[in-house]
Structure 1
Amino acid sequence: MTTGTVRIERAPDGIWIIAPDDAPSVLDDAAGIDVAVLEALGGHLSWSVLAEHAVPAAVIDDVDSAQNWLWAVFGEEVALAVAAGSGTEISVAPARPRVAACARRLAFALWAARWWPTSTVDALPALDEELLNGEIATLVEECDLLVDGADALAPAAPAVPVRPARADDYALAAGVATATLPSALVLTRGTTGTDWRRYPPGLVDASERAVAWEVVRASGTTTVRVSIVAAPGLSSAVPEHLRPRASVGTASGTVDVSLSLSGDTWSGVAAAPSGSEAGVSVDVHVPGFGTTGSADGGGAEVRERVRNLIRQRLLRAAATTPDDGPDAPLLAEIEAAASDSDF
């Protein structure tokens, strides 16, 4: 059962905030990759998928509409406090625990559709999109008391073209091999990950070892080469506006590297920026998409925590013991675990 204590605050602009301590909300400066959000009648609910507690944060801009579900998710005491315009710390006791659990499950399924860290390098299998969308549609119906807006609509078709998965998609080695001419001198090379917030899902492998770069000197010219493991099943017919690019930087400057897809790899080459012989940074992004902020909420540490969460959920999904708890694996997770020998 979803229990705990929440703070109730009213912002100067009339928005109500109901949240447990340290819970993320849609009012945060930037959403972390661990934040699941559900658009509800009169507001939004949000959870961190990494948090142990199941009590959401709520940001309400229409109290009358939100009263339809406040009592169900948070309980009568919270609903009455908001209606009366008073209250500070109040205990949560959902009047309809199944609705509260369904809302969280739907939010997680929507989160998985955006942030699931599919990786051939890390052997994290993709979710079957049709199966996931089917479960989302079912959960939307079960949450009709509260769900609203775009989250109340049937899932849309994928924005990124995909091809049928191949058996060897999960057998690729970490990193990407790059061919270097015998006469070329490799000054430095390295591997890194990407900020998942900088491009749509389904384009790039989610591993911290998905990006390989090297700075090469040949025929009096210094160039930087970037190779990136593509997301499993990606089709070569990616529209121009969705193709990722790589910004390669040093303390002295940055160059933009155009990437093209060949097989399972995005790759590109450009003149190296000054100082590149000491190493470079690589920022993979789709121009105009996502955040350009700090690592807070999307850096390597939280990405690894998300991967660990997914590994744990896949192990649960592969277990023979029935799991019918409110946080039980999704059908798509069960299918993914069954299709991958690592789980």
Structure 2
Amino acid sequence: MSVLVRVRDGVAHVSPGRLEATDPPFLTAVVEAAGGLLLTDATVDATVEADVREIRVPDAVIDDVDAAGAWLADLYGPEVADAVRQGAETSPEWTGPGDAGIADAVHRLGQLTWARAWWPAGARIPAVDPSLLAAEIAVTSDLLSHLLDDDEAVERALRDAADIRSALAALPSALAAEGAQLAAALHDLADDLGVELLPARENREDWALAAGGTGPVADRPGIEVASGTAPVRWADVPAQTVDAEGLARWSLRQSDGSLMLQIEVPAVDADFAARALRARFGPADSDIDVALERQGGRFRGETAVAASVAFLPAGERMLWVRDPALASSPGEPDSGSDRERVLRHASARWGAPGASFAERVAGAVR
């Protein structure tokens, strides 16, 4: 295999040719390295043949070659590192990473940070516990401390994993020994860096939320005069908040002389999921904005609207669900084939040779 080295306007691109420039963010695992970004197709696992795990190297976009010098040879070997330093445009033959352990840790960290940002929990895919993910991110980041752009990456991950003892206390017995090893590694890191981990709660909340709230839109009073559904863009809501395969539903109902807009969005049943979202209905310049609150397994909201809303053309009956902190304007709809590619990848992760501990725990309790 050869590695393409290309330099444009002072930015070096190193690529084994696996990524497409037009890939949406949810297909790409990103590691923020000193001097650049390391990018991997999130749906490509390390393969196992005859019990030998293939080491995959990421694409790199490097804007500070001097800073990247700490890791270039570790990932790509001396020939590629020299080509980048010289600003050459070449395709040297790649015989393997300079340090297989570092390359493997980069791949694992990319998968872990991708899962934290994009894990498609829902009816088909169980949620992964973010404290378990954060614990693995902390341990893996510590192995790569010379490579990462963030000097406090390990401390940040430790703080995110502060409630790890509660998650470990709820582990299936088959995974308890591995959980104890992770806990010991995390305890040592926390002691070294002065980060305090929380004690386990005696009765950890069950991930599944109790059924509650009001009934579905169709069971509410009044006469339904119009309804429809819309997908929710994954980039517009926090990961593991909205069912990744669910559709948002809107309904216009005439009740007691008022026209009510009612909105429902299927939620992920996890105690760590977000509790509130927003929804805008109508054309791009519409001011109809609805607060959505978590009620049982759904986000729900409603508001009175003018009678004229019932006569909007079909093309203007648009529903946009988002977390305002993540999305300030609607984007292009996600590709159905790209989303299905991620869903297939996630559904196979808990049985994959390179699956994270958090993913395997999710698979064991699903």
Q: TM-score, normalised by structure 1?
A: 0.77
Partner of 1:34: 27
Give, in whole Å, the separation in 1 of the partners of 2:38 and 2:296: 40
Partner of 1:72: 74
Measured after TM superposition, the shift of residue 304 of structure 1 is 2.2
- The answer as to 2:258 corresponding to 1:225 is no
Give, in whole Å, the separation in 2 of the partners of 1:235 and 1:102: 27
Q: Deviations over 1:55-84 (max 9, x none)?
A: 311111221221221111112211111122
Give, in whole Å, the separation in 1 of the partners of 2:101 and 2:329: 38
Cα separation, partners in 2 of 1:299 and 1:257, compared to 1, 3 Å: farther
Task: Spell out the pairing of 1:195-206 with structure 2 (5 A cutoff).
Answer: 195-206=233-244
Give, in whole Å, the separation in 1 of the partners of 2:139 and 2:25: 26
Partner of 2:141: 140
Cα separation, partners in 2 of 1:167 and 1:254, compared to 1, 3 Å: closer
Partner of 2:85: 83
Q: TM-score, normalised by structure 2?
A: 0.73
Cα separation, partners in 2 of 1:17 and 1:166, compared to 1, 3 Å: closer
Contact kept, 8 Å, 1:204 with 1:231, in 2: the verdict is yes
Partner of 1:320: none
1:58 to 32, 49, 60: 60
Unpaired stretches in structure 2, ≥5 consecutive residues? 47-55, 162-203
Partner of 2:164: none
Task: Spell out the pairing of 1:156-195 with structure 2 (5 A cutoff).
Answer: 156-157=159-160, 164-166=205-207, 177-181=216-220, 184-195=222-233
1:246 to 266, 279, 292: 279
Contact kept, 8 Å, 1:10 with 1:16, in 2: the verdict is yes
- Which residue type is aligned with residue 236 of structure 2? R
Contact kept, 8 Å, 2:12 with 2:61, in 1: the verdict is yes
Unpaired stretches in structure 1, ≥5 consecutive residues? 318-322
- The answer as to 2:331 corresponding to 1:330 is no
Cα separation, partners in 2 of 1:62 and 1:152, compared to 1, 3 Å: farther
Measured after TM superposition, the shift of residue 195 of structure 1 is 1.0
Partner of 1:94: 97
Partner of 1:16: 12
- Which residue type is aligned with residue 213 of structure 1? W
Give, in whole Å, the separation in 2 of the partners of 1:252 and 1:267: 23
- Percent sequence identity over aligned pairs: 29
- The answer as to 2:205 corresponding to 1:208 is no
- The answer as to 2:295 corresponding to 1:258 is no
Give, in whole Å, the separation in 1 of the partners of 2:100 and 2:328: 35
Root-mean-square deviation (CA, aligned residues, Å) is 3.2
Give, in whole Å, the separation in 1 of the partners of 2:288 and 2:262: 11
- Which residue type is aligned with residue 42 of structure 1? G
Cα separation, partners in 2 of 1:236 and 1:196, compared to 1, 3 Å: closer
Contact kept, 8 Å, 1:36 with 1:47, in 2: the verdict is yes
Cα separation, partners in 2 of 1:46 and 1:290, compared to 1, 3 Å: farther
Q: Deviations over 1:215-247 (max 9, x none)?
A: 223345433210122332347995xxxx31001
Q: Deviations over 1:13-49 (max 9, x none)?
A: x221212336257xx7x95111111011221101121
Q: Deviations over 1:238-274 (max 9, x none)?
A: 5xxxx31001125895621122233332211132635
Cα separation, partners in 2 of 1:141 and 1:181, compared to 1, 3 Å: closer
Give, in whole Å, the separation in 1 of the partners of 2:237 and 2:274: 17
Q: Deviations over 1:121-158 (max 9, x none)?
A: x2321112222222111111222341231645431438
